[in-house]
Structure 1
């Protein structure tokens, strides 16, 4: 058996992945930024703050020492929010394989895989799919995708995570897998606003379908494979995030439509920040992303959710499959 798999970030998803590693027959080292939090996790063996009800199995060690967490490891799962990824990567050895698990963009709008390579990491992968931590942590059946141009790294991550409750696929389409996970959060915010406005099932189905079309145009323009859009990290993750009671982005959108704060108890809602970054990219490159634009205007305080709905419903009539 190989050494422990470092899981860097002790939020809900990081905790669930650490448990998933042990179900795959490996040991995991779960790193928490705060020493007091790490000590509490190690003692009570449950992440009551971010993933209550899920027990840390015996194969999960906990530490607040980053060097200790990654010592001797072949790769690490990087599971901090996207805004914290640059700082965390600064403290990691460049020969370490990094598997980026946050579904967001770097603070300057770059893809996290781009950022990692520009910082000198040669072995980079991204993990994405319809993976709510609450369900993966409990061992409910799920599937995910690990994408990398380094096929050996992708295969190693697959081996470290695959188990009877988690099916892991590999892909070489880093761009498609990574950006599908980014864009679906914004579409899910819109879906949540629809829930908050009580727009009904027809509206939800329409939004998901047109959102998938929007995702496809965006991903295709950046060189992603068309099939990826309809895979786990595209359609699969979009459906889960736009409909699930576990989805922070959907819940944040619903709160916005009710005139409440979109904050989710201190948990990061990636779509709130990336909507503006994606809208700025679309404007700069002349791309039409109407759902992204509506969400960005609402989350930026320029429009109400009702104005965002009007923006989408009053667009010029066209053939369904026109861009």
Structure 2
């Protein structure tokens, strides 16, 4: 069976590594924390990030990047978006020349305003682009690791490579669709985290289902506007990586981004929430890059704008909701 390297030992990286190892693929997970790699190998569980999942014997962990990538036929990158460039630069000398690569990271890089696909091409070169794919969709790590039915999508610019990655991930409990719309899949995966912070905030403020539905729907409109400006298909935004992931992240209690918004809606500061979260909430950093990107491209993104102001300008969540509701009336 193909050898797999998973770069990133967080909850999502561990869950995907478990899926691949359960299919009898020799799987090696790279962790930037040597003590976490040792603990996974010794106890057969990722106690820090995914304590609910017993890990198969075919899955091992290492802190050595060269060891992780040696002979890998599939490289899955599952690191926080702000660490993507640094990790890929470290991995670049050791990635086998024929290996397929799949990014399961969702976000937009601050400063450069690049999607993860653009960061990877920037670091690895244009020639590797046909071997690059991107996995997204509504998928909590805990449920995937537990074998609960889940549907995701893998996007890539080259059909043979995309279909190969699709088959490698697919199981009787993980249904994997394919797509050629990399920009649409990545934009939906990144921006849904920002909208989830807004949805959590309205819940934390004590508002009802109407408010949450309004945030989800108008948030989807913002995702569509930005994605289509970048050349994506609106049908992609209506699919798993757009509407599907948006609904999950805005409503699910396992959502870290919704939790950030919820707790801030209840009056806690961002610093306090993040200090107790224990996991990365991608929407916090993506809110800044999405705000900057929307401003740069002239895309109307009022929810994203208000989330940015709450997170980075200390605007009160209630005032943000009030300002959104009292914007100038317009056509849908």
TM-score (norm 1): 0.95
Flag structure 1 segments of 5+ consecutive residues without an equivalent: none
Q: Of 300, 303, 313, which residue of structure 2 is paired with 1:301?
A: 313
Q: Of 181, 188, 191, which residue of structure 2 is paired with 1:173?
A: 181
Aligned to 1:90: 89
Mean CA deviation greater in 94-103 or 80-89: 94-103
1:208-246 CA deviation, whole Å, 9 max, x = no partner?
Answer: 111111111111111011110011000000000000010
1:253–1:262 contact (8 Å) kept in structure 2: no
Higher helix share: 2
Q: Of 234, 240, 253, which residue of structure 2 is paired with 1:226?
A: 234
1:26–1:160 contact (8 Å) kept in structure 2: no
Mean CA deviation greater in 243-252 or 110-119: 110-119
Take 2:195 and 2:120, find their aligned partners in 1: how far apart are those partners?
26
Take 1:9 and 1:120, find their aligned partners in 2: how far apart are those partners?
18
Q: Is 1:289 matched with 2:301?
A: yes
Q: Of 198, 220, 244, which residue of structure 1 is paired with 2:252?
A: 244
Aligned to 2:104: 101
1:24-76 CA deviation, whole Å, 9 max, x = no partner?
Answer: 34232111112221011111111111111101112212111111111112231
RMSD: 1.4
Take 1:143 and 1:313, find their aligned partners in 2: how far apart are those partners?
34
Matches within 5 A, 1:3-152: 4-93=3-92, 95=97, 96-108=99-111, 109-121=113-125, 122=128, 123-152=131-160
Take 1:178 and 1:308, find their aligned partners in 2: how far apart are those partners?
27
Aligned to 2:292: 280
1:245-299 CA deviation, whole Å, 9 max, x = no partner?
Answer: 1000000001111222331533111111111111112222222101000100001
2:188–2:241 contact (8 Å) kept in structure 1: yes
TM-score (norm 2): 0.93
Mean CA deviation greater in 22-31 or 174-183: 22-31
1:160-197 CA deviation, whole Å, 9 max, x = no partner?
Answer: 11001101111110000011000000000000001100
Q: Of 311, 318, 323, which residue of structure 1 is paired with 2:330?
A: 318
Take 1:107 and 1:317, find their aligned partners in 2: how far apart are those partners?
32
Deviation at 1:200, TM superposition (A): 0.5
1:107-148 CA deviation, whole Å, 9 max, x = no partner?
Answer: 322111111112234122111100100100111000111111
Mean CA deviation greater in 179-188 or 66-75: 66-75
Aligned to 2:219: 211
Flag structure 2 segments of 5+ consecutive residues without an equivalent: none
Take 1:22 and 1:34, find their aligned partners in 2: how far apart are those partners?
21
Deviation at 1:199, TM superposition (A): 0.7
Deviation at 1:5, TM superposition (A): 1.0
Q: Is 1:262 matched with 2:287?
A: no
Mean CA deviation greater in 277-286 or 205-214: 277-286
